[in-house]
Amino acid sequence: MRLSVILATWLSSRGARTHTLGPVEQAVAARANHLSAATTYLKPLLSQNASVILPLDHDWDALQIRGTSPRVHPKFNAIVEAATEDDVQKTVQYASKFGIPFLAVSGTHGWTKTLNNLPYGIQINMRKINSVVVDPSGDTATIGGGALQWEANRALYAKNKQTVTALCECVSIVGPMLAGGHSMLQARHGYILDNLVSARVVLANGSAVTASSSSNPDLFWGLRGAGHSFGIVTSLQLKAYDIPSNWTVYTFIYNSDKLEAVLDVVNEVDGNAMRPANLVLSGVGTRIPPMDLHNPLIVYTVSYQGPEAEAAPYFARFKAIGPITIKPATNVNNVELYKINQNSLDSAACTRNKNSMGSGVSLPIWNTTAARAAFDIFTKMTSDPRFSQSVFLLENYGMQGVRAVNASSTSLSLEERQYPVVANPTIWWNGSAAIGQADAEAYGEQIRQALFSGLPKGANKHTYVNYAVGTENFNQMYGYDTTRLQRLKTLKKVYDPSNRFGFYNPVPLV
């Protein structure tokens, strides 16, 4: 009983998270005895490799750093580095018993500001649960709930296998999967969630269950589209495929006045029913001052898993637009691909501890008038030195595999299943000044509204859950199909009636 009072006192305080000892940290330090009393309770319940880390411990600061800190800063008071599923269960049971909020952390690249609603609580750090094993059949891989893409990709590559992962090496497998998982392999195999065979999930009550088409099928349905709202995935089994070939990647750089021409070609190639499923179209608007001092350029990448000759007609289409430079890369393997596409661990995309914000928009087609209006705002924004490193993602990864999946088999919104275009201004800026964030949000929203203004009549406004800023409403992220939304809410009441998983663009209880 005395312990629970100590815990309540400690945990209702706001946690320390910065490098220098401010008043909050000093208050925490003053309660050092209480902190050790608190850990005394949980620590013996955990496995040998698990750790409990508190604000004065050596690793504390490093484990507060996120892809997007300080903008995104869930307020943790304690960190449990779980090493087993049982550790996750014990921590959730302990937290639930004392009414302590908690949040699972894997890649740290979650960037919705709803994460800031965690008022205090426990970071359940999943990184120690990171094994990757190709199963004996060779048709699936079993992956730890805290594994990052580079770990999964490289382990599979060593066995000449690939699975559907997202694009940046630093992001986890589970984070994207729970709401989709856009991927260079999606045109062939669907999103990451379409490749989920089964998952082990720790629920709000601390029990651990299997979710698959035959075990807890309702949870399996909810997990694949709105999974952040339902539990902590400790391991997952994904379909694995033989690597069919290396990649050919052409990178074209255009002046910004070619935006319409580029997007016209993208619409035409992407909209063609004969589009090869191993063709990936992606680009960014970005400033490269040595090449153009005044305007962003368009860096457009055409990737093809196959030999150069097969993809030549597609490269020719983009060459004909008149790029300033063309950079071909041939015979690129699945590990090198991340480097070539600038998504490797050391890429700008994987930078940590620097504000960044997405403001995602999914679209049924590029409307070039609206895209130009959006790009003009992006140009203005990046002329401000605070935001000059920002990029404007122009993504069309291909939809055949995504659309081939029966839409009712997962909770993913119908828009996410159908819309081929993802436009996402990714805004980076330094510092913690509120004005920087307010300006970034205002620019992000202006760009978003400009893009939405080009929606065909009757098309719904949609934002991919994983590219949401955190200001979007339920429909914009989870869709407009009332039956599906009602089913999600009903499931939420069954699996998480106290809304313990309520910090990541959550499914509302009512």
Ligand X SMILES: Cc1cc2nc3c(=O)[nH]c(=O)nc-3n(C[C@H](O)[C@H](O)[C@H](O)COP(=O)(O)OP(=O)(O)OC[C@H]3O[C@@H](n4cnc5c(N)ncnc54)[C@H](O)[C@@H]3O)c2cc1C
Q: CB within 8 A of 144, min separation 6: which ones?
A: 126, 129, 130, 131, 132, 234, 235
E-state strands within 243-376? 247-254, 279-286, 297-305, 325-332, 355-357, 361-363
Closer residue to ligand X in complex, CB, 7/167? 167
Closer residue to ligand X in complex, CB, 229/368? 229
Q: Check if the beta carbon of residue 247 is closer than 8 Å to that of residue 305.
A: yes
**At closest approach, how far in Å is the CB of 427 from ligand X?**
11
Closer residue to ligand X in complex, CB, 37/208? 208
Closer residue to ligand X in complex, CB, 368/476? 476
For the residues of 205-252, what is the DSSP string, one character each?
Answer: TS-EEEEESSSSHHHHHHHHHHGGGT-EEEEEEEE-EE----EEEEEE
**At closest approach, how far in Å is the CB of 380 from ligand X?**
23
Closer residue to ligand X in complex, CB, 155/164? 164
Closer residue to ligand X in complex, CB, 270/416? 416
- Residue 373 in the binding site for ligand X (CB under 6 A): no
Closer residue to ligand X in complex, CB, 174/337? 174
Burial of 267 (0-12, 13-18, 19+ CB in 10 A): middle
Closer residue to ligand X in complex, CB, 168/226? 168
Q: Which of 15, 55, 67, 398 binds ligand X (CB under 6 A)?
A: 67
Longest dimension (CA), the chain: 75
**Interface with ligand X by CB under 6 A: which range of 153-161, 179-187, 267-275, 325-333?**
179-187
Closer residue to ligand X in complex, CB, 34/224? 224
Burial code (b: 16+ CB inside 10 Å, e: under 16) for 64-85 equals bebbbbbbbbbbbbbbbbbbbb
- Residue 77 in the binding site for ligand X (CB under 6 A): no
What pairs with residue 250 in β-bridges? 302, 328
Closer residue to ligand X in complex, CB, 127/484? 127
What is the CB neighbour count within 10 angstroms for residue 139?
14
Q: Which of 79, 92, 126, 405 binds ligand X (CB under 6 A)?
A: 126
Q: Check if the beta carbon of residue 226 is closer than 8 Å to that of residue 195.
A: no
Q: Which of 134, 253, 349, 507 binds ligand X (CB under 6 A)?
A: 349
The helix/strand count (H/E) of the chain reads as: 18, 19
**Interface with ligand X by CB under 6 A: which range of 18-26, 150-158, 169-177, 312-320?**
169-177
Q: Tell me how far apart the alpha carbons of residues 492 and 494 are, in angstroms, rounded to a whole number.
A: 5
**At closest approach, how far in Å is the CB of 126 from ligand X?**
5
Closer residue to ligand X in complex, CB, 256/424? 424
Closer residue to ligand X in complex, CB, 373/423? 423
Span 411-470, contacts to ligand X by CB under 6 A: 466
- Residue 143 in the binding site for ligand X (CB under 6 A): no
Structure tokens at 174: 């589970």
**Interface with ligand X by CB under 6 A: which range of 171-179, 265-273, 282-290, 408-416?**
171-179
**Interface with ligand X by CB under 6 A: which range of 163-171, 242-250, 270-278, 319-327?**
163-171
**At closest approach, how far in Å is the CB of 316 from ligand X?**
27
**Interface with ligand X by CB under 6 A: which range of 1-9, 33-41, 164-172, 244-252?**
164-172
CA-based nearest residue to 27, from 41, 39, 12: 12
Tell me how far the alpha carbon of residue 7 is from its chain's centroid: 33
**At closest approach, how far in Å is the CB of 34 from ligand X?**
27
- Residue 377 in the binding site for ligand X (CB under 6 A): no
**At closest approach, how far in Å is the CB of 137 from ligand X?**
24
Q: Tell me how far apart the alpha carbons of residues 66 and 63 are, in angstroms, rounded to a whole number.
A: 8
Q: Check if the beta carbon of residue 237 is closer than 8 Å to that of residue 503.
A: no
For the residues of 78-108, what is the DSSP string, one character each?
Answer: EEEE--SHHHHHHHHHHHHHTT--EEEESSS
Span 92-121, contacts to ligand X by CB under 6 A: 103-111, 115
Q: Which of 55, 101, 175, 425 binds ligand X (CB under 6 A)?
A: 175
Q: Which of 50, 100, 171, 262 binds ligand X (CB under 6 A)?
A: 171
Element (H, E) at 269: helix 259-271
Structure tokens at 117: 């609603």
How far apart are the two ends of the chain, measured CA to CA in Å? 34
User: Under rule CB under 6 A, how many of the chain's residues touch ligand X?
Assistant: 32
**Interface with ligand X by CB under 6 A: which range of 133-141, 168-176, 264-272, 372-380?**
168-176
Q: Tell me how far apart the alpha carbons of residues 418 and 439 are, in angstroms, rounded to a whole number.
A: 32
Q: Tell me how far apart the alpha carbons of residues 350 and 333 are, in angstroms, rounded to a whole number.
A: 20
Q: What binding mask, one character per residue, do residues 227-256 give for ligand X by CB under 6 A, x or -?
A: -x---xx-----------------------
**At closest approach, how far in Å is the CB of 39 from ligand X?**
22
Q: Tell me how far apart the alpha carbons of residues 382 and 428 are, in angstroms, rounded to a whole number.
A: 10
**At closest approach, how far in Å is the CB of 121 from ligand X?**
12
**At closest approach, how far in Å is the CB of 349 from ligand X?**
4
Q: Check if the beta carbon of residue 259 is closer than 8 Å to that of residue 282.
A: no
**At closest approach, how far in Å is the CB of 9 from ligand X?**
26
Sign of CA dihedral 351, 442, 393, 409: positive
Give the interface with ligand X as residue ranges (CB under 6 A): 67, 103-111, 115, 126, 145-146, 166-168, 171-172, 174-176, 178, 180-182, 228, 232-233, 349, 466, 504
